[in-house]
Structure 1
């Protein structure tokens, strides 16, 4: 172990690292993070899954706490998932205990008696979620000024998962309010797997401190790329333009199976005696695969967000202790939760991003002498092409840049209401100070404030703002708990077997017409519905042999393919082979796909096809958001309903090369944001607290891709008449 690195840490910590953990050396990230963290700098620490990121932050922070004599809660450790907090707590508690300090959990599952003990005896490290932080700030039972008075540092684990959606803006806004409460800047440390733009991620994490406080990206062995630059998978250097692409590390294989039942047959037959983790892209698929595996005699456990906490915990603990078994999960097991020493990762269809794939791949290959591995099992032609394209992009060293959603005006409304709850009254000319000029939380929020006052969400009196009757009506239930989260949870019914909670199900399954008994599929088992308590939204069940159905609708954004991944699909169809193993079934499916799309992919540009039935399509291969932008920007040639997907835009049947050129020329004045269905705004939480035009403008900004649209417009177009109509 590097003596220099150990000398920088508290000597008691150094002793336990060597003698209690038995480590012969610190990992490179842990060594390189010590200096900037001890110096109080903001930082983003990058390493693959299981790269020791938690220790890289906690060891030097505990050293700072000892040397500077921090009192009270000096460190917040924030993660996106309660399950991840539960998993991390024993480790962080152990490290803290070595130097005589404490660590506690605070989230929605923590009992009130334990919370009272925490408030009475502030821990040195508090592990929590952004929603729980918000709840502490607005709670009448928490003296937040006293509790957070000793705060110096915040660790944001899986920071890329926050930055990519509205929970990230919510977290930043809460951190700015915390800084205002305690009257000093707070060090911010983000922990992340590989991302395409780490410097921009650090700038985002710094919030109002960007350009004011020193910050550093710590990524041993990797030169941090600029925004949008390629980041290689572990062990692979980013290829130069035109250079041969090195095969990705580890054992990756692509197969086509065509159905969940066939996938279960393959999973049951392969790698017997080993521990396998299967990722699925929906809760419904998790349930269906879990049932099929159990029917084949495979010891199977399930994990997804609609299972009860106890059910997930039992499954994860049993899986961690077993050997010959399978756990089937959505992305809930992607973010660092320890489920023991895995042998295999299996992926049904493809994850949404290369970054997610890297997280999942990193679950394997942790034992000395073992290699990372992943088997893709495609359930459909679309899933097969998505997997092939993702693997091709990965092999080129590309990882998505993490891009925060633009213009989070709805969260401005939420934060203004939360601040008024927190402070009771806020000066109508002073509220901007609470966010330090962070993005749209500054002067640009004036129209939102006016709307909140006009609609009664806020009231104004004697130069101050305070909660109004409309906010009480809309959000006042359960002490304004619905105001503490930035996302909308769909209505679900709790499913109970006796007194045991199994999980939650979509109410549609309880109202749809059915022939015979009503059965649910949950936790990989079928259940007969025996009673429905409509008022309390509860459903009572008893075990059934088979025949259950799973369904969740949700309010989440439509999953769409990015410009780069859509173009990777085109590259696959043009002959680009992902440098992974393909089964004979996969090779046959790839050949069939290339034959099917032969006429609509062109390496030199895009293609407009006209079929005999009058169907005209512009094959851009530009991704859904770019195509939506193009459809809005070319109204004279696009079909009225503007039907788009990742691959094409539907055009009017009377389009000609001449009218096409005229329409493209008209876009020289600028592109148009996609149209927004007013009903779609309902999925934007707190949108009702915004003026309608601002709510629609917020959503429109998130549905478009101007850069991808410009790239497609700049390419040559080939007109083709097809006779297959």
Structure 2
């Protein structure tokens, strides 16, 4: 190997002789210099692009050369399943240099944790929640355990940065740096994102602008512009009209191949799984409400099988290895172009194969959403990853966690723990005052410490609820004897039914035999058919982005996505263009009065921009309407002069959307904020001020639908 300069020779020996590699991949070559120099970096590559090795090989070389001791590298992932999958590889690489790796997350047994504490591994694979738990645990001497920390690898960093887990991760890393008394190198691994430089800056936290940082993405530098008519990969868009028809197509096509099917809800995963099994297709399922053992069995069996299907939600989007895939099938449209790229990247890994994805859309809306997403993808656009604004509830959580970690914190010194990181600085003073006033924190002699309200709300099971920054809806554990199958929504156990109560879980029907309401457990026996699947949402969705919604409008105006369309898809798109003929215009937005007299402003702006616009023109919008991606309902008496008067001032007084009180209740740690700050936090996250301003600047035409 001629391109491994900078790597430890013993490591190069094993790369060549044990792995059988003739050379490193471009990303792995490019990552050596910045990582061995100790610089921060964001490593970008498509799925299966060798990012783990690109991070591990230089860091292990540096560990060996500089004689790092103790737990010196943390490898952080968003999913426990991904950590489980990575452990054997990382153990192999560390062992080549006489080093060790270990796994610590919520499912790690107590005995394994004791062994880790007694003999610190060189590399620890973990989650941010487990890091937080170690910092606050009375059983972990965190100052000693983390004393050797030198570098942190954050896998799937884009999955963190886009939500509150990212703020939580950054805050925990700043506290870790404070504990060890040195700057810790940060390395992020990601699939392609729309704003890599900004993502690197985000990852650097308080070190941004002070430490060297590099975006390492040789595949982007080498890529040539792709003609819009010939995007890479074998992408097909089909319209099947129902889940039954989707099951028929999947069972008939690609026999003898290994197929991964993505659905956008757990309910669809369950229903499609049951339909495929009824057709004799070897089918496995994976989603967050299945038990750990059930998911592991499915993923292991799928990895070892050939002629089979595994149906999943986004749980299998983030790089978990399920063996060589032949096909990816998407039911309707994923939530983003970035998700589609992750899923597309699961295929085409073997030499001589092509990345592929078959879209099976269930209705006209699903077809339009998929067509718009594919059109926007073909233009080379990917969503920028941006951190949610104003994470005040995370600030409250971190203040409580810090007091739990240190027992007592100076009321003037707490800011130092986050090294000047954005929202954790002086702007958090009102949150500290509220935590003291509400009894979450006590204050005495210039010191802050855990108060009675925090004990009451979060003290159960050694403050376990304090380490996770999201709230899962309540679910009942479903058991067959002593075997856990998964979890189901309690609504399925309380709604009125005629005859026996039956559930659909793990792709099979079960009859409920006993419900333990106190312990939230449900006992079942297998039964033939009749099961029902249901789960409540985990939050309030924010719909489709402005860019993808506008691409849907482009599709309705006649632009086909440059992929293979079946005759059924072409016919259904033609019908959709007829339906929306008088609701789209390339030059601006339309206000349409339909046959019933209702007035709708067809903005095609996406959910967050429409929520912002509806709040801004509150006086002429129908109150308390359900916001969608495409239109806003207006009062029926609005005329063009009234509209012009209202909208003339709107760009200068954009309003944040109102917040449903149920959403505030669903914001974990929202109760630890003053009510007005909790509402302001959610309002800022529901808004898209930039896109709303763009829409208000466009021409508007009043039209009446012709009957």
Q: Aligning the two structures, in what range does the TM-score lie when normalised by the shorter sequence?
A: over 0.9
- Measure how far apart 1:236 and its partner are: 5.7
CA distance in 2, matches of 1:251, 1:494: 41
Q: Which residue of 1 aligns with 2:94?
A: 96
Distance (whole Å) between structure 1 residues aligned to residue 117 and residue 699 of structure 2:
65
Contact 1:235–1:249 (CA<8 Å) still a contact in 2? no
Give the drift of 1:383.
1.0
> Of 130, 145, 148, which aligns to 2:146?
148
Give the corresponding residue for 1:237: 225
Q: State the alpha-carbon separation in 2 of the partners of residues 419 and 620 from structure 1.
A: 46
1:580 pairs with 554, 563, 572, which one? Answer: 563
Distance 1:401 1:32 in 2: 24
CA contact (8 A) 1:274 1:323 kept: yes
Bigger CA drift: 197-206 or 637-646?
637-646
Deviation at 1:117, TM superposition (A): 0.3
- Residue 416 of structure 1: how far off its partner (Å): 0.3
State whether residues 561 and 623 of structure 1, in contact with CA within 8 Å, keep that contact through their aligned partners in structure 2.
yes
Name which of 48, 66, 74 aligns with 1:68.
66
Counterpart in the other structure of 1:256: 239
Q: Which residue of 2 is the match for residue 605 of structure 1?
A: 588
Q: How does 1:516-531 map to 2 (within 5 A)?
A: 516-531=499-514
- Find the residue that maps to 2:152 and give its secondary structure: strand
How far did residue 260 of structure 1 move?
Answer: 1.2
Taking the aligned partners of 2:476 and 2:109, their CA distance within structure 1 comes to: 23
Counterpart pick for 1:338 among 311, 318, 321 = 321
Higher mean alpha-carbon deviation, 197-206 vs 664-673, is at: 664-673
Across the two proteins, how many residue pairs are aligned to each other? 707
CA-CA distance at 1:642 after TM superposition: 4.3
TM-score with structure 2 length normalisation?
A: 0.99
CA spacing shift, 1:432–1:329, aligned 2, 3 Å = same
Task: Determine the C-alpha separation between the residues in 1 that align with 2:5 and 2:676.
Answer: 58
1:467-506 matches, cutoff 5 A: 467-506=450-489
3-state DSSP of counterpart to 1:719 = strand
| CA displacement, residues 247-302 of structure 1 (integer Å, 9 cap, x when unaligned) | 21111001111111111100000000000000000000000000000000000000
- Asked if 1:313 is matched to 2:296, the reply is yes
Aligned match for 2:44, one of 39, 43, 46: 46
Give the equivalent residue in structure 1 for 2:428. Answer: 445
Q: Which residue of 1 aligns with 2:8?
A: 10
Distance 1:467 1:528 in 2: 46
Match of 2:543 among 535, 540, 560: 560
1:27 is matched with 25
Partner of 1:674: 657
Quote the Cα distance in structure 1 between the aligned partners of 2:409 and 2:54.
39
Map 1:674-713 → 2, pairs under 5 A: 674-713=657-696
Q: Distance in 1 between matches of 2:484 and 2:598?
A: 51
Matched, 1:158 2:146: no
* Match among 526, 529, 532 for residue 546 of structure 1: 529
CA distance in structure 2 between the partners assigned to 1:592 and 1:118 by the alignment: 62
Cα distance in structure 1, aligned partners of 2:542 and 2:513: 35
Residue 214 of structure 2 corresponds to 216
1:432/1:442 contact within 8 Å kept:
yes
User: For each residue in 1:288-321, what CA deviation from the matched residue of structure 2 results, as whole angstroms up to 9, or x when unmatched?
Assistant: 0000000000000000000011100010000000
Hey, what's the Cα distance between the residues in 2 that align with 1:122 and 1:40? 22
Instruction: Tell me what 1:226 maps to.
Output: none
Q: Secondary structure at the match of 2:319?
A: coil
In the TM superposition, residue 683 of structure 1 has moved relative to its aligned partner by 1.6
Could you say what the CA RMSD is over the residues aligned between the two structures, in angstroms?
A: 1.0
Conserved in 1, the CA contact under 8 Å of 2:72 and 2:122? yes
528-537 or 408-417, larger mean C-alpha shift: 528-537
User: Which structure 2 residues correspond to residues 394-473 of structure 1 after superposition, within 5 A?
Assistant: 394-473=377-456
Q: Distance in 2 between matches of 1:568 and 1:204?
A: 29
Provide the residue aligned with 2:169 in structure 1: 171
Alpha-carbon shift at residue 679 of structure 1 (Å): 2.2
Shift of 1:640: 2.4
Question: What is the match of residue 36 of structure 1?
Answer: 34
Question: How big is each residue's C-alpha offset from its partner over 1:536-571, in whole Å with a ceiling of 9 and x where there is no partner?
Answer: 111111110110001100322314000001100000
Q: Matched residues in 2 for 1:288 and 1:389: separation?
A: 26
The yes-or-no answer on 1:299 pairing with 2:282 is yes
Say whether the 8 Å CA contact 1:236–1:249 is kept in structure 2: no
Q: Of 104, 119, 122, which aligns to 1:121?
A: 119
The residue number in structure 2 matching 1:241 is none
Alpha-carbon deviation of 1:636? 2.7
Instruction: Supply the distance in 2 between the matched residues of 1:105 and 1:668 (Cα, whole angstroms).
Output: 52
Q: Distance in 1 between matches of 2:174 and 2:567?
A: 55
Per-residue CA deviation, residues 359-394 of structure 1 (Å, 9 max, x unaligned), is: 100010111111000000001211111100000000
